[in-house]
Amino acid sequence: MSDELIVRVEHVRRAGYCMRGARRWARSHGIDWARFVTDGVPAAVLRATGDALARPVIAAAESEAWTR
């Protein structure tokens, strides 16, 4: 089992972002939206974008991971 943090669309919602905007954001950063929706993406992929908008989404995923 991997300890890699996976970010899912529910984390996008928790961060307060709309799905339409998140989809455009993913496309602009070369992230496969269909994969994001079905499987999630590693937090490292979002971090690698260097985009500050990814930080709240990653924080939501981290917060959930800490409460498990």
Rounded distance, CA 44 to CA 58, Å? 9
Give the tens place of pLDDT for each residue, 5-59: 999 999 999 999 999 999 999 999 999 999 999 999 999 999 999 999 999 999 9
Tokens for 41, please give them. Answer: 């993406």
Strands (E), 1-68: 6-7, 41-42
- Cβ atoms of 23 and 34 within 8 Å: the answer is no
Look up tokens 């300890």; give the residue: 3
